[in-house]
Amino acid sequence: MTSAGNGEYNRRAAFFTEEYDDRSDLRFLTGLVGNRAISVLDIPCGTGRVSMHIARRPCRIWSVDREPEMIRVLEQQAAHAGLRHRLKAAVGDMSEFDLGRRFDLIIVPREAFQLLTCRDSAARALTCFARHLKSDGRLVVDLANFRVGPTAARNLLPDYFTPDRRDGIRIYDWTRFSNGRRISRWRTQDNASNDIFRLTLDFVSADGISAPDAFTAKIGFRKYDKGQFLGLARGSSLVCIGAYGDYDLNPISATSPRMLFFLRKSGSSSKGAIP
């Protein structure tokens, strides 16, 4: 989860790797890269959850995020893992970036696209993605289904979203350790709107010596159904070549926890859904 527009996003960079440790999509994304030397763009990348995993493959990966502190942490982690030569990191906003190059594969992971709650910003982002695709390139956008009921597979939903949880109830999430500090998180969700899922995350960070540091991050995610997203994509000259409800590529249904879209540029001659 990469919090575009959130003033507290930079403060989370110090422990974002521990906070956002979901691995449910990594095997699937690695399979898209395979063993070929392709060019990959991971946007927005946060501290490199996806980038660090894919960089172990023989590919060339660019990692882009709007928050400089996230990029700094990513570069530090990549250097420590001996992967700095495989990865190029840059600061950029997914709705208005220009890297001056095109990619075989663009990955927009785990509901990050939905952080663009303004429809115009979302449309601009899709146009930017299309502009950065090679003629036979593929764009993969992974959305969460915030309209799903309690029967959905919980392990594929975001860890901060509970379908049957009453709105406005603050609950304790977890305590984790990062860089000698004890980080605790509480969350409050508001899913009443037809268009936006709203989330409040409260953090307390303590080192056992100085006074604890407490702060709050308020985040919104735009809700989509299949038709809404594909309509937006068509307006950005993108064509859908596959739409799935999970990482096993089952069809999208009312109970699908995710909506996974494979897209290509309009006019591309390539037909395959998976690169």
CB 9 within 8 A of CB 23: no
Helix 226-235 to helix 119-131 angle (10° resolution) is 60
Taking only the tens place, the pLDDT of each residue in 178-215 is: 989 999 999 999 999 999 999 999 999 999 899 999 99
The ranges assigned to domains in the chain are 9-148+224-265, 154-222
- The yes/no answer on whether domain 9-148+224-265 falls in CATH 3.40.50.150 is yes
Cβ count near 176 (within 10 Å): 14
The yes-or-no answer to whether 9-148+224-265 and 154-222 have a common fold is no
Taking only the tens place, the pLDDT of each residue in 136-193 is: 999 999 999 999 988 888 889 999 999 989 999 999 999 999 989 999 999 999 999 9
Instruction: From residue 199, give the alpha-carbon distance in Å to each of 123, 140, 156, 172, 188.
Output: 23, 25, 18, 14, 6
Sheet with strand 181-190: strands edge to edge: 171-178, 181-190, 196-206, 213-222
Architecture of the domain whose range is 154-222? Single Sheet (2.20)
Record the tokens describing residue 245, joined without a space: 């409800």
